[in-house]
Amino acid sequence: MIRIITLIIFIACLTFGFLWLYQNSGNISFDAFGYHVETSFALSVLFLLFFFMAMLLLIRIFFVILGLPYNFKNLITSFYKVNIPLKLEELLVAIYNHNHPKANKALNRLKKYLPENLTNLLASEVALLKEELGEIKLAFLNLSKNDATKITGIEGLISVAQQENNWNEVITYCNELNKVHKSEWLLSTYIHAFIMEDKWEDLINFIENSRQSSLLAKNRRKQLLAIACYKVANNYFLTRDNENALKYALFSYKHLSDFTPNLILLAKIKATAQKFEDSIKYIKAVWQIEPSFSASDILVSIRKNYTDEKFFKIVKNIIGYNPGHYESNLLLAKAALDIGKYEDAFEAISKAIEENYKFRACLIMAEYCQKTHGNVTEVIEWVKRAIGSEIDVFHLLYFWDFNTMDITKFPTNNCFPIARV
Higher pLDDT, 21 or 280: 280
Give the residue-averaged pLDDT of 251-261: 97
Using an 8 Å Cβ cutoff, are 142 and 150 in contact?
no
Phi, psi (deg, nearest 5) at residue 281? -60, -45
Q: Which fold has domain 84-183?
A: 1.25.40
CA distance 277 to 317: 13
Better-scored residue on pLDDT, 289 or 71: 289
Lowest mean per-residue pLDDT among 5-14, 117-126, 153-162, 271-280: 5-14
pTM of the model: 0.74
Which positions ≥6 away from 69 have C-beta within 8 Å?
A: none
Give 113 or 223, the one with higher predicted confidence: 223
Is 401:227 a contact under the CB 8 Å cutoff?
A: no
Neighbours of 62 (CB within 10 A): 10
Q: What is the pLDDT of residues 378-406, one digit of tens each?
A: 999 999 999 999 888 878 899 999 999 99
Residue 167 makes CB contacts below 8 A (sequence gap 6+) with 161, 192, 193, 196, 197
Tell me, what's the pLDDT at 19? 63
Write down the H helix ranges in 145-273: 150-163, 167-178, 184-196, 200-209, 218-238, 242-255, 260-272
Share of residues in the chain with pLDDT > 70 (%): 85
Confidence of residue 311 (pLDDT cuts 50, 70, 90): very high
Res 265: pLDDT: 98
pLDDT one-digit tens code per residue, 55-80 = 777 777 777 777 666 555 554 544 44
The full set of domain ranges for the chain reads 18-79, 84-183
pLDDT digits (tens, 9 = 90+) for 173-182: 999 999 999 9
